[in-house]
Amino acid sequence: MDIVVLPGRILRWAGAEVRCALGRSGIGAVKREGDGVTPAGAFPLRRVMYRSDRLQAPETGLAVRAIDPSDGWCDDPRDIRYNQLVRLPCDAGHERLWRDDGLYDLLAVIGYNDDPIEAGLGSAIFLHVARPDCGPTEGCVAVTLSDLQAILRVCRHGDRIVIGAGLT
């Protein structure tokens, strides 16, 4: 299955269509660390992560892992662990996955810049929970928690997210 993300902040999957949030700089073919661009292309969904203190394990055909309070994601292009899950404390630049705001209560890791990883081309690109106002992300794709749960219910190994479909 392909999850399709359109430039008009629309996400489609399995016959359904919902509003989504995108990076503050829109969708782009060129992505750099910190630029706020949601990368265009077709990418596999690698695994699902969730806050077990807030949610039950999601129903999905993807690999699932509970987020630990010491989990982070390296966003330092100079570090060998760039664009990878890290344990905190971490001396390199990183993002905490255990967040107070609920945005990472449930997320799917998008296989962007991970095979191979190229320093500086962007990290921590997820499909995650949107802010209540569906405001922009730092480069991820975000939907409501209930929409994300519905999407993940039908996801299986090998499914992709296709970002920027219909760009001209």
Average pLDDT value for residue range 13-25: 96
Asked if residue 168 is part of any domain, the answer here is: no
Residues 108-127 pLDDT 10s? 999 999 999 999 999 999 99
CATH number at residue 142: 2.40.440
Q: Is residue 112 part of a domain?
A: yes
d(CA 2, CA 109): 15
Q: What are the backbone dihedrals phi and psi of residue 22, each rounded to the nearest 5 degrees, phi first?
A: -125, 175
Whether pLDDT at 39 is above 80: yes
The answer to whether the beta carbons of residues 123 and 75 sit under 8 Å apart is yes
DSSP SS3 for 88: coil
Residue 63 lies in a domain: yes
Task: State which amino acid sits at residue 153.
Answer: R
Domain encompassing residue 63: 2-163
> Tens digit of pLDDT for each residue in 71-108?
999 999 999 999 999 999 999 999 999 999 999 999 99
Residue at 42 is within a domain = yes
Domain count, the chain: 1
